[in-house]
Structure 1
Amino acid sequence: MNIMNFYLCWCALLRARFTSAFIPLGQDGKLGNQNPSSSSSLALGLAPPVLTSTVTVTPTVTPTSLVQNILPSTITVTVTPGVSNTIPNSPHPPSSAGAQPSNPSNGPPIPQSPVQNALPVPWNCTSPVPGLSQEDCTYLSTIGFASQGQNAISSASGTAGIWLGSSGPNTFSFINGASVPLILVVWYNPYEDAQSSFMDARTPKITYSLPEQGSAVVVSIDNEVPGGWSTVYNYTTTLTEYGQVNNTMGEFNTGIFATTDVSRLVNMVGHPMTVVVQGSGCRSDMQTCVYMCAEEGVVTCGRERSYRLENCQGQPGAVVSNDWEGNPTGGCQGWSNGGHVDVIFT
């Protein structure tokens, strides 16, 4: 077999195995406010010990960081006893991180991780999971969440894949830059799970209180794990009629084609967030490298060819392509098989 034939076969294999550039999708569209029971829609034992102390640290910014003018001067990080949970000052990539994958247009691979959706965590708001306050626990129960988050404190506790602390190959700093209390919600999106982002049907991986401006938490994520996050703002955010958090969402895939982005498809008038990949510096926010509804004036969308990826080209680490159905794919890369992402809610 000559080199050209080998290359063509390799490309065909990649197209057969890889999905869109941020999360595995069903055949009928991207994440949007749709009915999970419809065939044409897409949806996306013991509690660990309670976190007991806080420390104040300098945010993960450098003089040239894109987020330096968004963050407060210091942030408070809740610490798990025995678990490193300080915001890292630099990403932890292997030597190849920061370089663009050889074939980024095909997006990240179908996840092969053994991660499973967590079992429901009972509503016991007198003793909520680590990092979730009683008040926030009660609010989530009243708006229809099926369960508290698992809030594992290590890769070995509960179901592996997403946990509190900075010990994993991929770390996300979630930072409250707003002037109101927030509740962070992070979920896992296994391949072909049409309800992974529907909090009335699935147990989130993380539900974590960020009670004031500057509050922050570091979350670790294994490689080859897809998922997303959103926030509940000031005890006013609810679930949509189908069970998704009715706010702006973030999405990620970790691994060789690690990608992240902001999605406004569930709620085009949701609260702002900014995502910055350390290393490449790629930024996704409400106007840049963001998924938006294509039709003017609509508040939600998500079916085939109903959305677009806005203003993503032209910055380091940004990748833009289309899937075989003509839908845009892409987002911020530059953290293959390990790295750090800052997420600031404003």
Structure 2
Amino acid sequence: MMIMDFYLSWCVLLLANFTSAFAGQNQKFGNQNPSSMASIAPPVLTSTITVTPSVSTVTVTPTVAPTSLVQNILPTTITVTVSGSNTGPDIPPSPSAGTQQQPPPASPSSPSHGPPGAAPSPVQNAQPIPYNCASPVPGLSPEDCTYLSTIGFASQGQNAHSAASGTAGIYLGSSGPNTFSFINGASVPLILVVWYNPVEDAQSSFMDARTPKITYSLPAQGSAVVVSIDNEVPGGWSTLYNYTTTLTEYGQVNNTFGEFSTGIFATTDVSRLVNMQGHPMTLVVRGSGCRSDMQTCVYMCAEPGVVTCGRERSYRLDNCQGQPGAVVSSDAEGNPSGGCQGWSNGGHVDVIFT
């Protein structure tokens, strides 16, 4: 009898969670009008840069101006190579490093990138934000807003400062359970682009058809921003470099991608499938220390010499095993899956672009 009662209770709990998740899914495509955020100033983030030519490295020391949105979440220093192989950043552990419990190896969703293997999803963009580059969303400069319009973005991002309806749980600041610091380690201006990737939308990363959640200006080397992501949220990001990066023929950012899924099996990785010749990116998960960059724990096209890929079994996951927090598996179709874990239901990832 006790077993039966336990089983019934478990079923009720499972049904409640499913109903809650379904209701939340409806909210994610709700009102995307940013008018309620227009009066909120974006986080002010600056950094000092030290370049060491002899070893071809850039050391970034971000500093955060006092703000309620960002509180000591950026690393003290980050050092990455600016030429040759893209080694990982030297990131000191946060005070909570080592407290993250690494989940057992799981089989995260397969990469959501690359040329579509089938016809694009018919799902349309929910209430795209009108372009008004004279007064862009907080954190995006008028010049960068205009560039997005010029290369075919359906809209500038929402750049919300809380998990309001329609944000899909992706917003600026450090108040969420999962945070990403995005840091410009390059010598040119960048535009960060972050999108939400719902399971049913095969076109989520196609910026000519979807509203990105974040489009943020990183105008100089050392510029940085912190983005919060709620649990059970999948998505990705990329960057536009120096007003030269465009969209592919399919409408994706023609550059290196980063990907994430948060929650109990939180996973993140670097993907080169859209553009094997894209700009370098390095990410490190605090706590587990797992690193993904252009050679390590990275999705690559399997066929030598190709510039882009993404169809079934056309890509591989390279050099991921052997470091704490890294998991490698495969999906039902035999495609590789996995990446950097070690931040179950809350953690921080440092990302630097060079």
Residues 179-328 of structure 1 mapped to structure 2, 5 A cutoff:
179-328=187-336
Structure 2 counterpart of 1:176: 184
Structure 1 counterpart of 2:23: none
Distance 1:263 1:101 in 2: 22
Which one is further off, 216-225 or 314-323? 314-323
Q: CA deviation at 1:310?
A: 0.4
Structure 1 counterpart of 2:59: 72
Structure 1 counterpart of 2:20: none
Correspondence 1:87 to 2:73: yes
> SS at the partner of 2:44?
strand
Instruction: Tell me which amino acid in the other structure corresponds to 1:54.
Output: V
Structure 1 counterpart of 2:103: 101
Tell whether the 8 Å contact from 2:43 to 2:225 is kept in structure 1 after alignment.
no
Tell whether the 8 Å contact from 2:149 to 2:155 is kept in structure 1 after alignment.
yes
Q: CA deviation at 1:323?
A: 1.5
> SS at the partner of 1:229?
strand
Structure 2 counterpart of 1:32: none
Larger radius of gyration: 2
Q: Residues 224 and 52 from structure 1, CA distance in 2 versus in 1: closer, same or farther, beyond 3 angstroms?
A: closer
Q: Percent identity?
A: 77
Distance 1:160 1:86 in 2: 25
> SS at the partner of 1:230?
strand
Equivalent residue in structure 2 for 1:54, among 44, 56, 65? 44
Unaligned runs of 5+ in 2: 1-32, 50-55, 76-92, 111-123
Instruction: Tell me which amino acid in the other structure corresponds to 2:106.
Output: S
Q: Residues 52 and 162 from structure 1, CA distance in 2 versus in 1: closer, same or farther, beyond 3 angstroms?
A: closer
Distance 2:73 2:125 in 1: 26
Q: Residues 183 and 177 from structure 1, CA distance in 2 versus in 1: closer, same or farther, beyond 3 angstroms?
A: same
Tell whether the 8 Å contact from 1:71 to 1:214 is kept in structure 2 after alignment.
no
Distance 1:85 1:121 in 2: 29
Q: Residues 241 and 56 from structure 1, CA distance in 2 versus in 1: closer, same or farther, beyond 3 angstroms?
A: closer
Structure 2 counterpart of 1:123: 131
> SS at the partner of 1:74?
strand
Q: CA deviation at 1:322?
A: 1.3
Distance 1:71 1:224 in 2: 34
| Larger relative contact order (Cα-Cα within 8 Å, sequence gap ≥ 6) | 1
Tell whether the 8 Å contact from 2:70 to 2:226 is kept in structure 1 after alignment.
no
Correspondence 1:345 to 2:353: yes
Distance 2:158 2:71 in 1: 17
Which one is further off, 84-93 or 318-327? 84-93
Q: Under a length normalisation based on structure 1, what TM-score does the superposition of the two structures give?
A: 0.76
Instruction: Tell me which amino acid in the other structure corresponds to 2:61.
Output: T
Q: CA deviation at 1:56?
A: 4.2
Higher relative helix content: 2
Instruction: Tell me which amino acid in the other structure corresponds to 1:123.
Output: Y
Unaligned runs of 5+ in 1: 1-44, 60-68, 110-115
Q: CA deviation at 1:121?
A: 1.3
Instruction: Tell me which amino acid in the other structure corresponds to 1:180.
Output: V
Q: Deviations over 1:249-275 (max 9, x none)?
A: 000000000000000000000000001
